[in-house]
Each structure stands twice: as C-alpha cells, then as structure tokens.
C-alpha cells in the first residue's frame, strides 16, 4: 500500500517535472521509479528518451531557418529508448501516443521531415484529445502541431497546381494556429497547477518554480502564424491572430510575448489601418478589405475547431475598443506598463546592455503613444505618460525633448522651460530648443530675462543656417522690445528699444523673405514713432504675407497716427473680412468708428462683438445680459483664479521693482493679446479666463462710446456688466471715474481714479485724469508730481504732456510749460488711435 | 494633351447619362481607369484650364452621392486640391481658385453633418488600465500602473477630438486651416482606400507647403512658389498622419522627404505639436531601413519576438526595486539634481510654496498647541516638529505676528486635515482637474501631508531618531526614500524638503500675509 502510494506520488512528481520542463531531474526520478515498479521498463524508456532529447535541445537549441542537422551522435541513445518503446508496444495507448510524438520530434531535429510527417499522420495529431489531458501532454501536442507546420513549410513544393499551393499555405498556418492555441492553454494550465500547489503546500512558499522559458517549438507555434499572414499580405487575418493571442488570459511566461505583440499590433493599427477599415476585436472581420493583398485573397474567417481553447478575458461589461486609435492606445498602455516594470534603474556599467534594452523597448512604446495621442490632440495625457518615461531618461535626449514638447503642448509652460534647459545641456547645437524656451518665456510666463538669455544662445552660436539665426535675432528683438515696455526708467527704455531695433534689423537682413521680421521691425519703429519708416516695412511685410492680421492692424494704426482715420478704418474692415472674429481688430474698429462714423456705428460694432463672443465661446447659458446663474458662477470661479494668478507679483520679493504691479497689469494685457493670437489658431488654449476678460473689455468699450456721447446711465450699465466679471479691474474703476466726471461729480471721480491707481499704480490714463481734477482743485504740485510720474511710465502719451504743460503754466513756469506743450504737439502728430503696443508680440 | 482632354470630357459626359441602376458598377470600375485619374490630376494642376470648373463640379457630384466608391474617387484628389488652393491663394490670384475653393468648402460642409443633419461630433474613449478590457485585467497589470494619476481617471473618459464645426460660407485667413485640417482628418480616416498616387501627392504637397519661401526650397530644387505659406499646427499634425501611413504603404521615399520638410518647418514655426509627432515618427522608423530606400513595397512586417526577458535577472528594475529597502546612510548620493526639484516647485508656482510653508508652520506650532487632533496627526507632529523647531524659535521674536499666524495656522491645519481625510477616502486627486491654479493649494498641501504620513507609516522609529540628530542641518532625511513610484510623488518630497530649507530665511516672513489672502478667499 505504502509502495503504491509512494509510486503514485512519484508519478505525480514526474508529471510535474515534465510539465515544468525540469528535465535534469527526470533520470533521478526514473531510477526511483524503476526501483519501485519493475514492470514499468517501457515507461522508464519513454521518460529517459524524452529527457535525453529535451536535454540535448536545451544544450543545442534549434534556430529558425537553420539547416537540417542530420543524425546526431548524441541522440543515438534517445532513438534507442524510443524505438524500444514503440517496438514493444506494451504501454497504454496514451503513452504510446506520447512516444510517437517524441519520435516525430526526434526525426524533425535530425532533419527527417518526411518521417516526422508520417508519424504525425499515424498518431492522428488532429484527433488527439485535449480535454482532461495533463499539462505536459498539452505541451507535446502543441509542439507536435508546431513541428508539423515547420515540416510542411520545408517540404519542397511539388510541381502541382497553384491552388494546391495556396491550400498548403493555409494548412501550414492552421497548424501553427492550433499550436499557438494549445500552447497558450498549456501555459495557463501549468500556472494554474503551480499556484494551486503553492496554496496547498504553504506556510513556507519554498523555492518558487523557476521562470519558464518557451521552447523554440512553442515560440514558433505562437508566432509563426501571424508572421506568415503578414508575409502573405493578409493583414486582416494577421490582426485577427494577434488579437486572439492577446485576448487569452496572460501567464507569467507570456508576459514578454504579450508586451511585444501588443506593441506590434498597435504599430499595425497606426501604420496600416484607418478609421474606415477598422473592425473591433469582437466583430467578424470584413470579408473584403483594402488591407489585404488582392493576390492573396482568402476567406477571413477561422476554419478550424479545437476541443478546448485557452481562457479569454471575459466579463459583463469589459471595455472593447471601437476605433483604431482607441485600440492602439489600449495596447500601448498595456505594453507601457510592462516596459515600465522592466526599467533598469541601476547605473553600474555591468548593466549597460540591460539598460539599453529596457530603454529601447520603452522608447518604441512611447513614440507610438506620442503618435496615437498626437493624432487625437491629447497632449495633457501624453505629458503624463512621458513623465513616466523619465525613469529611463537619464542622459537620453530624445525622451527629454519629447517630454518638454509634450509639456509645452499641454500648456505647462514653466515646467517645459526647465525641461528644455536640460535638453539644451544634452544637445547644445540644436537651435530649435532655446528658441522654444524663449517662446515660452515671452508668452504667458513673461520671464523676460530668461527669454533674452535663450535668444542670445541662438544668436551667439557660430554656424547656424540663416533661417534659424534670423529667428534667434527675432526672439532677441522681441525680448528687448517687451522689456522696454515693462521698464520704467527712460534711459533704459530707450536703450532697450535701440537694441530691439538692431536685432530686428539683423533678423530682417538675414531672412528677407520672412514677413515676421519685417513686421516686427515696422512695429518697433512705430513704437518709437518713426511712422514713415514703419510704413515702409509694414508694406514689405504685407507683400510677403498679404493676409497677416497683425501687419494689417499695424498698417491701420500707422495710418491713424498720420490722421488718415478713414483709410485706417478701411484697412481694419479689410482685415476683418479675413479675420471676422479677431477681437483686437474689433476693439480698434470701435475706436475708429466713434471717431469718424459716429457713435451709432461704434455701438453696433460693440453689439456685433457680443454676438461673436457668444458664438465663439458657445456657453451653456448666455442670457443676453450676461447675468445667467451659471455664467455668474463661472465668472466668480474665474475671478478667484485671477486673484491667485496676480498675487505673486504683489508678494514676490525677488522682483523687487517699484513697478511690480505694472507687470501684473501688463500681464493682464498680455493675457488679452494672447487670447487674440490663440483665436487665430483654432486650438483653444488654456483655461476659461480669457473669454471673460474679452467680454469685460467689450463692455468697457461700449461704456466708453456712451461716455463719448454723454449718456452716463447707459455707460454705468455697461460698466456694471464688466464689474460683475472683474470688480477689481483698474479699467473698470477708471471708467467709473469717467462717468462720475461726466455727471459732474468730481469728488467721486477723484475717489475712483485713486482706487484705480491703488490697484495699478502705473495706469497712465487714471493718473492723467486724476491730475486734471487736482489741477482744478488747485493742488498744482501734487498734480505735477503725478504727471511727472506718468511721463516716466509712458513718455509718448501726449495728453499727459499736455496736462503737465497746463499745470506748469498755472504754476507760472511758462518756459517748461512751453516745452511740454511742444512735446505734446509733436507726439500728438504721430499718435495712433490706440497704442501700438496693443498688437501682440509673440514668437 | 488632346487625348487626355478627351478622356476627361468623356468622363464628364458619361456620368450625366448614366442610369441610376448602373451607378454602383460604374463606381467600382472607376478605380481601374488610371489614364483618367492622371488626366484629372493634370486638369487640377492647371488653374487656367477651362475644364477645371466642370471637373470640380462633377467631383462634388460624386462626393454628394451615397456611393462609397464615388466618394473615395473624389477624396483621392484632396491633397492635390488643397495644394492648388493654397498655392493660388498665397499668390493672391483669388479668381482662378474659386471653383477649387468652392469644392473644398462643399466637401467640408457635407462632412460636418451626419446623416440626420446634426453637427458631427467626433469623439473617442481614452482607455484606462484600471478598467478590464478584452485584452487585460487590472489586477494582472499590478500596482505599478495604478498610480494616483491613473486612479484619478478611474473609468473611461470620452473625449471629443473634433467638432462640432460651424457651416462655412467662405474660406478666410482665420478659418482656412480649421477647414483644411478637418478635410485632412476625413481623408486620413479613409487612408486605406487611397491609391498610391494620392499618397504621393499628399507627401509632395506637404513638402512644398513646408518649404516654399524658405532657404531649403533651393536645396530641394523646387521653383514653383516664392512666398511662404502659413500653416497651423493642427494641420501639420494631420499631414503627419498621412505621411506616417505612406511610409509603410509603398511610398517610403516621398514620405521620408515630406517628414524631413515638415520637421524643418515645425522647427522654424516653433510648433510643439507637430514636432512631437514628427520626432516620434522619425525615431520609430525601422533602424535597418532608415538609410536604404524601400521603394514600392508594403513594409508592414513582423518578426518573431523573443519571449523570454532580455534583461538579466540581477539588474535592479522598477519591478525588483519595489521589494527593496535602501540603507539609510549611503542614500544621499541618490539625490536628484536640484534642477528637478525646481521644476516641480516653479510649476506649482507661488501656491505650492505658500501652501507648504503654511502647512509647515502649522506643524511647528501645533507641537505647542493644545487643541485635540486625531492620533494620526500626532505621529506626524513628532517627526516634523523636531525639524521645524529652529524656525519656531525664530518666529517667537515677534509675538503679535506669531499669535496671528498661529491662529491662521490652526485654521489651515484643520482645513488641511479635512483635505487629507477627503483624499484618503475618495482617492480623487486634483490631477484630473484642468486648471492647476485653482486648486493647487489643496493639492500640494495634501500631497505634502499624505507624503509625510506615508513616511510615518513606513519608517516611524528610524525617522524620529534621525530627526533629532539632524534637527539643525539634516535635510536629506527624507531623500532616503527612493521609491519606484512615479516621479510625481518623488518631486513632492522635494518640495516639502526645500521649503524646510527656505522657511528659516526670508520666506517665513512672508507666510502670514499670504495666509490671509489665501484662506479668506
């Protein structure tokens, strides 16, 4: 009894070793077995034969496409064992089948294809029972099919007809498909048995079963079918085969295979398929598809059945992709999670190769993810994915660069600049990177010093192609020009403006076909009030790019500076026919209209703007007054955002300048101009802040028109609309002051202007109005002080010079007053309807 | 020339008299007529041709019909039509491009509507690993991929990637590329049905569009246009989709050229989106084929992949490191360069600094405070209090301000606690929220909290001992945790650490006033 039990335990152990391919233990176990049961000689022969063959294959692995080996000395022993078993035929039929399968394998290894095929026919490979077969048996059958496929491929093509040839191809593939299915089933079974036995055995887990490696034959069986499909140009079935493998529940051994196959399928979905030719994994493939080579047209449905199939992922509402990008993304995410798991972190030299391998397999996946997500515009998600890639990224330029670009595309500017800096370190010769960084710094970040530094990097680099160098000078000029607007000391301002002009000139001479260079040169000249020169360059810019909105706008402003208001308006109208939704152009239009076509036209334009705003931002509840509840809620939320955005400027000790708030105010303006530029490219940029600022601006413009025609109550209503959105805006407070003045309420007006200045101490218009009131109140010296400050901030505001003259005159300082009046006169002659700086300056 | 003219004229007339019943077979046969297709290309390329208008008209008739083959027949000319329209419109010869413009607009206006006449909204689902699919099960992916970010997007989100688009009556400089990008999107969704001549035309169009007016034009020996043609980033990304397909479907050489030119232009325009995609396409070209050319072959091929891991067992990987515990002493070498932590800090900007410093001081004061707290916080206090001690001493110099800040800190503390518990419970993080500005206070505060929290759970005894020793200068205690979790978490550690460095200095002076503005808001 005890012996029997021991025997059966021994048998179980042998079965386990055969399932898990632990061939080195077999001879020892066989010895024990033979000691116990003398009658089982044949069984021992079988086991020894199998173990011998497998051991040989382990030491001398078969490779794809290797020439047949012929009889091997080392295998004579194996053949002897097997022949003995087969000749005697004493074993049960199950074991006889096994012996035959091993024999066929031996024949294949020794190159005797015909004999192998004969044995498979003899054993009836297609009819072998899969149900209730032990795992090792499943492995043998899977290998059998795989070897049969290999044999069929190697069989010389007899000079028979072509259709037979096609049939044989299909037979071969079917063999591989069956081999693959059974192999998957085998791997699932082995894993199930292993986990079950670990659970049973426990508390101590003992040595875990070693990671299994797939034999050549199983690997071939799993993969050869789809390789052949793609070779024959039958993408439909190839994709189908990929999906079958991937839908099978994963095992530890198939993880690497799944990672690769998932990636390959994603590649095919992205490279070779489109939305219209897609069918989802649970659908029947289309019978005719443009994917397939018309010469190899076959039927696209599976033609074989197995008595058992591998387990698939199933469930009530599991996700099934409905579109090729969706499926590609899902596969790539799966592949990514596995690639990430294999990231080699240690940096010791011995692991260099491992690092390269893990980096390669990951970066392929990340590139494909970029392609798929870029197609769908999901840059936010892409930046998150690429962030996960950063554990591979040490000194890897490509990953850093892609990460930086994705941050930039996702609107995370500050981080993008930091990452770009690392990219510059890794690849200092690439001019694009500092240019990108400069663009970001000049944009929403408003880091002008940084922008200047990046631009200088491009310019200072010696050998660059002229177009990049020109771009560098353009960036440098813009940085200077924007700095000049921010800076408060007159001397510095002039210095920066001169530098900006020089840089733009260099850019223009390096790249004469670039309309941007000509345009910014014109703009810079306009800002320093060299109107005729500016006109010349803006015409050049328009010749190069006839429908550029900024150039047209500048042309209109230049004409208005020469007091050709009707011409300016015509230009604006022309520009608006190309850019009907450009608010900056519309704002200028309102000003020009109220000047030369009367307030009614201007008000109509304001109304038109409100309509455009509504259609552009397509909000859920835009009641006409802009007072709908949801609208208000959102406005409040935005206001909070605005607070957090502008706060750093008040409290940042690093800036340290007196004019910190002017930066805050200019940022608001910046944001506005950015909005206008984002309107041109259809992509909606960041957050919902800009639309609200635009709306407030529209209301304020309407208020101004009403004030111009002396209608204080209408103006107040408009201001109230703007105040609902931004109650603390200095523009709103300034307009309130204007209304009060109109009503003759000087005290109120004074208070409003003071409040406006307390929010934005450098708001020139408020300063000018306030000083006028002070002048009337007889407080000359304070008025003079404020006006002198205002001149410091903006030396080209002719109203300020004029007021200053008046104040000085009232104080009896006639000489200085004359000088001021003359300056005012001179400036007025070249003053545009709205400041030139309203035109956005972006790279 | 005359024979080509004849072919086109025959095509124009034969469709008009075609009986309704035979349209299907006629449509299927069109694909074979190569001479017709090349003759039509020539008509389109010749803006002065008087055949252009009837041809455009008939192409539109084809597109309007319900017959799929007829639609694809028209669609194959789309790249050429776009090129002709753009090249003519930049040279401002608007008259002659009128019928091409009309054809493009009509196709656009047809495509933005679905069959029921509603605006078409193209959307897709972003798959998530945390939801089971036909290809995987969340449990088998392991905890690795289930980071906070992934969990916050638990479930699937459906995203609109195109639409709804408004009807357009004319092409203006403002909407031009919106319309053209959408047309290319339609073209790309039918790439499989496009003959190779069409793909070639797409690649050629991309090349010319990107280099006209630039110095590279001379290198390419293209003399057609002198002016630069403006492009949009979105349009370039759509071009790249077609180019990518062309690479692997028989047009390797022209795709290669087009890719280089698009990349060149994207660099000069400083567009991040096409740069991203073009870089990725370039990097993922099969290594062997990069140099050589692969004319005319369909190059979608796969090879047998190795199934066993190619990474040696003893290498430290993300997977293996999870079970690993680092020794505390030698780990200061693992500090990441400062640059990295700055990245994190600057991005959160002011808010994070304010938030974390306020939470820091909240900690320090709470050690002397007497209000009751849940036990978890006590353990936190023990660890952080010792390190924050120096700062506390400094702040006692100004009793009134201390009082003020303590009051606020208590409030901030309780708020933070709420946030912590909220976060622990729901696992919804602010990652999914669109604007960092609006909520980064809550986010950073909680991140810092939950981070230190984790440290307590993980290594409480070691930490408190080390904390005493390093009260003065020891700041890298926390850096010891080198975990394989996402960088995101890592950099949060650095934030908290950096603020400790900064706090004793001037930034502490700032924190009370900041607290006011932030907490009253």
The 10s digit of each residue's pLDDT in B303-333 is 666 666 666 667 777 767 665 555 554 444 4
Strand partners, B157: B126
Q: Roughly what angle, to the nearest 10 degrees, separates helices A76-88 and A41-59?
A: 150
User: How distant is the Cα of B6 from the closest Cα of chain A, in angstroms?
Assistant: 31
Interchain contact, A546 vs B92, CB within 8 Å:
yes
Q: Quote the radius of gyration of chain A (alpha carbons, Å).
A: 40
pLDDT of B387 strictly over 60: no
Pair (A744, A798) in one structural domain: no
DSSP alpha helix (H) spans, A281-412: 324-341, 352-375, 379-388, 397-409
Residue A435 touches partner B, C-beta closer than 8 Å: yes
Pair (A180, A51) in one structural domain: yes
Pair (A145, A266) in one structural domain: no
Q: Which pLDDT score is estimated for B300?
A: 67
Domain count, chain A: 4
Residues in chain B: 521
What's the rounded Cα separation, in Å, for the pair A565 and A585?
A: 14
Question: What average pLDDT does this structure show over A671-697?
Answer: 53
Query: Which residues in chain B have their CB less than 8 angstroms from residue A370's CB?
Result: 276-277, 279-280
Query: Which residues in chain B have their CB less than 8 angstroms from residue A634's CB?
Result: none
CB contacts under 8 A, A 211-270 vs B, are: 211, 213-214, 219-220, 222-224, 226-227, 230-231, 233, 235, 238, 243, 246-247, 249-250, 253-254, 256-257, 260-262, 264, 267-268, 270
Question: What average pLDDT does this structure show over B58-64?
Answer: 92
Query: Which residues in chain A have their CB less than 8 angstroms from residue B229's CB?
Result: none
CB contacts under 8 A, A 527-546 vs B, are: 544-546
Q: Do B135 and B128 meet the contact criterion of CB atoms below 8 Å apart?
A: no
pLDDT digits (tens, 9 = 90+) for B95-121: 566 889 999 999 999 999 888 888 888
Q: Do B220 and B163 meet the contact criterion of CB atoms below 8 Å apart?
A: no
Pair (A755, A778) in one structural domain: no
Question: What average pLDDT does this structure show over A463-479?
Answer: 89
Q: Which pLDDT score is estimated for A288?
A: 77
Any domain includes A454? no
Q: Which pLDDT score is estimated for B233?
A: 94
Any domain includes A471? no
- Between these two residues, A742 and B384, which has the higher pLDDT value? A742
Residues in chain A: 843
Q: Domain holding A178: CATH number?
A: 1.25.40
Q: Which pLDDT score is estimated for A715?
A: 92
Domain boundary among A385, A413, A441: A413
To the nearest whole number, what is the mean pLDDT of chain A? 83
Nearest C-alpha in B relative to A318: B133
Question: What average pLDDT does this structure show over A581-602?
Answer: 90
Question: What average pLDDT does this structure show over A728-751?
Answer: 91
Domain boundary among A741, A762, A783: A762
Torsion, Cα of A644, A649, A651, A654 (10° steps): 140
Q: Which pLDDT score is estimated for A743?
A: 92
What's the rounded Cα separation, in Å, for the pair A732 and A738?
A: 10
Any domain includes A309? no
Torsion, Cα of A534, A537, A543, A544 (10° steps): -130
Any domain includes A40? yes
- 3-class state of residue A635 by DSSP: helix
Pair (A703, A750) in one structural domain: yes
Q: Do A75 and A106 meet the contact criterion of CB atoms below 8 Å apart?
A: yes
Instruction: Report residue A8's pLDDT band, with 50, 70 and 90 as the boundaries.
Output: confident
Q: What is the DSSP code string of B77-101?
A: THHHHHHHHHHHHHTT-TTTTHHHH
Instruction: Report residue B353's pLDDT band, with 50, 70 and 90 as the boundaries.
Output: very low
Q: Quote the radius of gyration of chain B (alpha carbons, Å).
A: 32
Interchain contact, A682 vs B347, CB within 8 Å:
no
CB contacts under 8 A, A 700-759 vs B, are: none
Interchain contact, A467 vs B268, CB within 8 Å:
yes
Pair (A259, A219) in one structural domain: no
Q: Which pLDDT score is estimated for A292?
A: 77
Question: What average pLDDT does this structure show over A114-119?
Answer: 90
Q: Which pLDDT score is estimated for A201?
A: 58
pLDDT digits (tens, 9 = 90+) for A481-516: 999 988 877 888 899 999 999 999 999 999 888 999
User: How distant is the Cα of B284 from the closest Cα of chain A, in angstroms?
Assistant: 6
Prediction pTM value: 0.79
Query: Which residues in chain B have their CB less than 8 angstroms from residue A470's CB?
Result: none
Q: Domain holding A832: CATH number?
A: 1.25.40.10
B interface test, pick of A149, A288, A292, A341 with most B CB neighbours within 10 Å: A341
Pair (A723, A738) in one structural domain: yes
Which of A288-302, B121-135, B182-196 is predicted most confidently?
B182-196
Residue A581 touches partner B, C-beta closer than 8 Å: yes
Instruction: Report residue A327's pLDDT band, with 50, 70 and 90 as the boundaries.
Output: very high
Instruction: Report residue A46's pLDDT band, with 50, 70 and 90 as the boundaries.
Output: confident
Question: What average pLDDT does this structure show over A733-745?
Answer: 93
CB contacts under 8 A, A 52-81 vs B, are: 64
CB contacts under 8 A, A 155-194 vs B, are: none
Interchain contact, B315 vs A273, CB within 8 Å:
no
Range of the domain at A350: 254-282+320-413
Range from A9-13, B87-91, B249-253, B503-507 carrying the lowest mean pLDDT: B503-507
What's the rounded Cα separation, in Å, for the pair A244 and A277?
A: 19
Q: What is the percent of chain A with per-residue pLDDT over 70, rounded to a whole number?
A: 85
pLDDT digits (tens, 9 = 90+) for A716-725: 999 998 888 8
Range from A268-272, A407-411, A667-671, A685-689 carrying the lowest mean pLDDT: A685-689
Q: Which pLDDT score is estimated for B30?
A: 86
User: How distant is the Cα of B451 from the closest Cα of chain A, in angstroms?
Assistant: 19
Instruction: Report residue B335's pLDDT band, with 50, 70 and 90 as the boundaries.
Output: very low
What's the rounded Cα separation, in Å, for the pair A282 and A280?
A: 6
Question: What average pLDDT does this structure show over A433-456?
Answer: 92
Domain boundary among A188, A221, A243: A243
Interchain contact, B284 vs A246, CB within 8 Å:
no
Query: Which residues in chain A have their CB less than 8 angstroms from residue B318's CB?
Result: 340-343, 345, 391
Nearest C-alpha in B relative to A843: B270
A interface test, pick of B91, B307, B489 with most A CB neighbours within 10 Å: B307
Range from A338-342, B273-277, B286-290 carrying the lowest mean pLDDT: B286-290
Q: Do A153 and A227 meet the contact criterion of CB atoms below 8 Å apart?
A: no
Q: Which pLDDT score is estimated for A185?
A: 92
* Nearest Cβ partner for A343 among B188, B279, B317: B317
Range from A126-140, A454-468, B208-222, B317-331 carrying the lowest mean pLDDT: B317-331
Pair (A274, A169) in one structural domain: no
Any domain includes A431? no
What's the rounded Cα separation, in Å, for the pair B521 and B515?
A: 10
Any domain includes A166? yes
Query: Which residues in chain B have their CB less than 8 angstroms from residue A363's CB?
Result: 283
Pair (A51, A138) in one structural domain: yes
β-pairing, B249-251 vs B122-126, is unpaired
DSSP alpha helix (H) spans, B302-398: 318-321, 338-366, 375-395
pLDDT digits (tens, 9 = 90+) for A803-813: 999 999 999 98
Query: Which residues in chain A have their CB less than 8 angstroms from residue B237's CB?
Result: 374-375, 377
Is ipTM over 0.85?
A: yes
Interchain contact, A357 vs B161, CB within 8 Å:
no
Nearest C-alpha in B relative to A474: B268
pLDDT of A460 strictly over 80: yes
The secondary element (H helix, E strand) that includes residue A121 is: helix A113-123
Residues 6+ apart with CB under 8 A from A234: A292, A293, A296, A298
Any domain includes A735? yes
Pair (A128, A261) in one structural domain: no
User: How distant is the Cα of A284 from the closest Cα of chain B, in angstroms?
Assistant: 15
Any domain includes A794? yes
Query: Which residues in chain A have their CB less than 8 angstroms from residue B302's CB?
Result: 226-227, 230, 238, 264, 268
What's the rounded Cα separation, in Å, for the pair A455 and A438?
A: 6
Residue A283 touches partner B, C-beta closer than 8 Å: no
Interchain contact, A321 vs B125, CB within 8 Å:
yes
b (16+ CB within 10 A) / e for A334-344? bbbbbbbbbbb
pLDDT digits (tens, 9 = 90+) for B413-436: 444 444 444 443 333 333 333 333
- Between these two residues, B148 and B464, which has the higher pLDDT value? B148
Interchain contact, A682 vs B177, CB within 8 Å:
yes
Pair (A719, A773) in one structural domain: no
């Amino acid at each position: 009894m005890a012996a029997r039990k021991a025997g059966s335990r021994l048998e179980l152990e042998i079965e386990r070793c055969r399932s898990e391919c632990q061939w080195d233990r077999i001879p020892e176990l066989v010895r024990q077995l033979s000691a116990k049961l003398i009658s089982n000689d044949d069984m021992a022969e079988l086991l020894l034969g199998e173990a011998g063959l497998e051991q040989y294959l382990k030491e001398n692995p078969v490779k794809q496409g290797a020439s047949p080996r012929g009889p091997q000395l080392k295998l004579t022993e194996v053949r002897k064992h097997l022949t003995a078993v087969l000749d005697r035929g004493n074993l049960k039929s199950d074991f006889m089948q096994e012996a035959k399968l091993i024999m066929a394998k031996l024949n294949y290894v020794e190159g005797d294809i015909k004999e192998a095929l004969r044995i498979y026919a003899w054993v009836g490979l297609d009819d072998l029972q899969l149900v209730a077969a032990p795992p090792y048996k499943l492995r043998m059958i899977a290998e059998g099919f795989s070897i049969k496929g290999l044999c069929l491929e190697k069989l010389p093509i007899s000079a028979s007809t072509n259709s037979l040839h096609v049939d044989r191809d299909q037979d071969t593939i079917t063999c591989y498909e069956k081999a693959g299915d059974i192999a998957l089933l085998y791997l699932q079974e082995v894993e199930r048995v292993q986990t079950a036995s670990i659970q049973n055995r426990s508390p101590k887990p003992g040595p875990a079963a070693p990671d299994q490696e797939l034999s050549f034959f199983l690997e071939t069986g799993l993969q050869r079918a789809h390789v052949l499909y793609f070779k024959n140009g039958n993408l439909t079935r190839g994709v189908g085969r990929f999906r079958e493998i991937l839908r099978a529940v994963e095992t530890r051994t198939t993880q690497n295979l799944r990672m690769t196959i998932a990636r390959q399928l994603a590649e095919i979905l992205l490279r070779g398929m489109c939305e219209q030719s897609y069918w989802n994994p649970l659908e029947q493939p289309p019978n005719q598809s443009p994917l397939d080579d018309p010469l190899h047209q076959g039927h696209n449905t599976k033609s074989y059945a197995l008595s058992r199939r591998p387990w698939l992922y199933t469930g009530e509402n599991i996700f099934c992709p409905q579109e090729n990008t969706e499926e590609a993304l899902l596969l790539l995410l799966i592949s990514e999670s596995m690639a990430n798991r294999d990231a080699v972190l240690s940096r010791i030299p011995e692991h260099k190769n491992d690092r390269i391998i893990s980096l390669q397999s990951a970066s392929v996946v990340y590139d494909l993810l970029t392609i798929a997500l870029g197609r769908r515009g999901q840059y936010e998600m892409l930046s998150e994915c690429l962030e996960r890639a950063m554990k591979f990224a040490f000194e890897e330029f490509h990953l850093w660069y892609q990460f930086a670009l994705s941050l930039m595309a996702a609107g995370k500017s500050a981080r993008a600049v930091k990452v770009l800096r690392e990219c510059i370190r890794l690849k200092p010769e690439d001019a694009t990177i500092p240019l990108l960084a400069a663009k970001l710094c000049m944009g929403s970040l408003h880091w002008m010093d940084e922008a200047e530094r990046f631009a200088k990097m491009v310019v200072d680099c010696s050998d660059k192609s002229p177009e990049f160098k020109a771009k560098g000078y353009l960036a440098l000029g813009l940085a200077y020009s924007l700095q000049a607007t921010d800076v408060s000391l007159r001397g510095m301002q002039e210095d920066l403006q001169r530098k900006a002009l020089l840089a733009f000139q260099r850019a223009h001479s390096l790249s004469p076909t670039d309309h941007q260079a000509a345009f910014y040169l014109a703009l810079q000249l306009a800002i320093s009030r060299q109107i005729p020169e500016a006109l010349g360059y803006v015409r050049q810019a328009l010749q190069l790019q006839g429908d550029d909105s900024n150039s047209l706008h500048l042309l209109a402003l230049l004409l208005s500076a020469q007091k050709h208001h009707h011409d300016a308006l015509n230009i604006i109208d022309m520009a608006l026919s190309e850019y009907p939704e450009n608010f900056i152009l519309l704002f200028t239009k309102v000003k020009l209209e109220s000047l030369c076509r009367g307030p009614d036209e201007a008000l109509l334009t304001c109304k038109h703007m409100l309509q455009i705003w509504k259609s552009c931002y397509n909000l859920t509840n835009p009641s006409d007054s802009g007072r709908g509840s949801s609208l208000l809620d959102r406005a409040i939320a935005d206001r909070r955002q605005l607070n957090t955005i502008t706060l750093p400027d008040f409290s940042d000790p690093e800036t340290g300048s007196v004019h910190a708030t002017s930066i805050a105010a200019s940022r608001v303006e910046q944001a506005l101009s950015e909005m206008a530029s984002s309107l041109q490219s259809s992509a909606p940029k960041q957050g919902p802040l800009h639309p609200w600022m635009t709306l407030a601006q529209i209301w304020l413009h309407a208020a101004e028109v009403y004030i111009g025609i002396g209608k204080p109550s209408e103006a107040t209503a408009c201001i109230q609309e703007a105040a609902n959105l931004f109650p603390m805006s200095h523009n709103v407070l300034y307009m309130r002051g204007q209304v009060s003045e109109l009503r003759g309420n000087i005290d109120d007006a004074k208070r409003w202007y003071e409040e406006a200045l307390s929010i934005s101490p450098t708001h020139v218009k408020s300063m000018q109005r306030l000083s006028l009131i002070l002048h009337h109140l007889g407080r000359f010296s304070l008025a003079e002080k404020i006006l002198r400050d205002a001149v410091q901030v903006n030396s080209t505001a002719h109203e300020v010079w004029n007021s200053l003259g008046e104040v000085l005159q009232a104080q009896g300082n006639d000489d200085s007053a004359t000088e001021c009046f003359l300056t005012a006169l001179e400036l007025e002659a070249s003053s545009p309807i709205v400041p030139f700086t309203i035109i956005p300056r972006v790279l | 020339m005359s024979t080509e003219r004849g072919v086109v004229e025959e095509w124009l007339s034969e469709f008009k008299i075609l009986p309704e019943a035979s349209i299907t077979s006629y449509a299927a046969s069109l694909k074979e007529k190569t001479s017709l297709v090349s003759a039509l290309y020539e008509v389109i390329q010749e803006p002065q041709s008087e055949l252009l208008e009837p041809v455009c008209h008939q192409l539109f008739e084809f597109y309007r019909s319900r017959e799929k083959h007829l639609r694809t027949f028209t669609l194959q000319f789309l790249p050429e039509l776009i090129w002709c329209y753009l090249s003519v419109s930049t040279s401002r010869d608007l008259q002659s491009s009128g019928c091409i413009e009309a054809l493009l607009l009509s196709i656009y206006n047809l495509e933005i509507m679905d069959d029921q006449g509603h605006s078409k909204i193209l959307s897709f689902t972003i798959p998530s690993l945390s939801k089971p699919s036909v290809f995987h099960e969340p449990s088998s992916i392991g905890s690795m991929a289930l980071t906070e970010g992934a969990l916050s997007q638990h479930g699937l989100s459906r995203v609109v990637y195109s639409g709804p688009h408004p009807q357009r009556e004319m092409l203006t400089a403002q909407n031009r590329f919106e319309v053209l990008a959408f047309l290319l999107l339609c073209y790309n969704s039918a790439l499989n049905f496009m003959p190779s001549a069409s793909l070639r035309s797409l690649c050629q169009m991309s090349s010319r569009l990107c280099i006209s007016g630039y110095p590279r034009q001379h290198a390419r020996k293209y003399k057609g246009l002198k002016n630069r043609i403006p492009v949009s980033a979105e349009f370039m990304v759509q071009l790249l989709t077609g180019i990518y397909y062309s690479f692997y479907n028989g047009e390797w050489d022209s795709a290669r050229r087009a890719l280089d030119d698009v990349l060149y232009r994207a660099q000069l325009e400083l567009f991040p989106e096409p740069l991203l995609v073009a870089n990725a396409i370039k990097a993922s070209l099969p290594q062997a084929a990069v140099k050589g050319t692969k004319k005319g072959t369909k190059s979608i091929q796969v090879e047998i992949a190795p199934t066993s891991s190619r990474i040696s067992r003893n290498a430290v990987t993300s997977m293996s490191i999870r079970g690993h515990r680092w020794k505390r002493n030698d780990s200061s070498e693992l500090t990441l360069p400062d640059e990295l932590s700055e990245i994190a800090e600057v991005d959160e900007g002011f808010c994070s600094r304010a938030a974390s410093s306020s939470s820091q001081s909240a900690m320090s004061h709470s050690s002397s405070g007497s209000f009751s707290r849940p036990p978890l916080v006590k353990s936190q206090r023990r660890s952080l209090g010792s390190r924050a001690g120096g700062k506390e001493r400094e702040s006692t110099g100004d009793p009134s301000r201390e009082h003020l800040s303590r009051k606020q800190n208590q409030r901030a503390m309780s708020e933070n606690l709420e946030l912590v518990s909220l976060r622990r419970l729901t696992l919804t993080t602010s990652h999914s929220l669109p604007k960092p500005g609006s909520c980064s206070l809550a986010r950073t505060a909680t991140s810092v909290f939950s981070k230190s929290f984790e440290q307590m759970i993980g290594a409480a005894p070691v930490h408190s001992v080390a904390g005493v020793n390093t009260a003065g200068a020891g700041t890298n205690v926390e850096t010891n945790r080198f975990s394989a979790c996402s960088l995101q978490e890592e950099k949060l550690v650095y934030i908290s650490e950096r603020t400790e460095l900064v706090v004793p200095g001037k930034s502490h002076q700032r924190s009370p006033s900041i607290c006011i503005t932030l907490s009253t808001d």
